Amino acid sequence: MGSVLISEVGPRDGLQNCKAVMPTADKVRWIRAMAAAGVKEIEIGSFVSPKLLPQMADTGEVLAEAVTIPGLTVAVLVPNLKGAEAAIAGGAHKITLPMSVSETHSLRNIRKTHAEVIAEAKVIADRLAELPEGRRPHFEGSLSTAFGCTLEGPVAEAKVLACAEALMAAGCDEVGLADTTGYGDPASVRRLIRAVRGAVGAGALTGVHFHNTRGLGLANVLAAHEEGITTFDSSLGGLGGCPTAPGASGNVVTEDLVFMFEAMGIETGIDLEALMATRAMVAEALPGEELYGFTPRAGLPLGFRGMPAPAPAG
């Protein structure tokens, strides 16, 4: 029944919303454990000001370790050219520039207007074009607050399409849809995916990022998958949210997401038991932080047969 790519964003989106700062060694241990469980893409951090997000102050150190893990695609969020330069220097395989469709949120989140974000995308794309093809990270423009914003309310579809077209024209390799504040529902997910693909092409939209704010995370994932989306962001234990969007609670739980797809016969390549075992190290490194997820609490059903454990790298 095909396969999907689960992109783990816990070390970035998850940790940026935690009060505690996870030690660098624990971050690296967590990332290595997830990769060993079969997670093929991990967003390991973001190059933002440590004054704004002290949880991300060690992204350079974490990146240096993560790129040594065989078979792992290492992703980093960058708000500007300076961040992109740091990601390039560290050998990141993928960089994501966030562009909030809600300009109010954009100003609060990265202190840039739409025009300024597009200008930043252009200079980043020009910088990437100077690199040899083998050293050029994949460049995604993430359309944050694409389904609605707790600061502005509903977001017009026309604004989403205009932002998507502008990012692609600026030189992004693709755009992603992010439901930063949990406004989306399966019907709106279907409509927006079709509309954006109609504007920029199916190949320019392959990934989505949903939050589970109102309990519709997995339903939205399933709707997106049925529209042909193959890459899904999620966070171990549902950690995360957006510090600059009031009420933007946690991400889709990676463990529940993997279980859903594997139960449906759709390959993720992830060993669920090994994945769930990483919760213990996260809980130990983030004392007092609540971890969510139905599958880890209920356990796997008797007779469940997901994908076999991945072969050891080497």
Smallest Cα–Cα separation from 289: which of 18, 10, 13?
Answer: 18
**Distances from the Cα of 279 to the Cα of 33, 174, 217, angstroms:** 10, 32, 20
Neighbours of 106 (CB within 10 A): 24
- Count the residues in the chain: 314
d(C-alpha 206, C-alpha 257), whole Å: 17
Alpha-helical regions (H) of 153-293: 157-170, 186-200, 217-226, 254-263, 272-285
Provide the terminal-to-terminal Cα distance of the chain, rounded to the nearest Å. Answer: 29
Contact 92, 138 (CB under 8 A): no
Distances (CA, A) of 8 to 159, 233, 286: 28, 6, 18
CB 45 within 8 Å of CB 286: no
Active-site residue, 242 included: yes
Catalytic residue among 18, 163, 172, 242: 242
Q: Which two tokens stand for residue 190?
A: 């279907």
Q: How many CA atoms lie within 13 A of 264 on its CB side?
A: 17
Tokens of 95: 């960089």
- Enzyme catalytic residues: 242
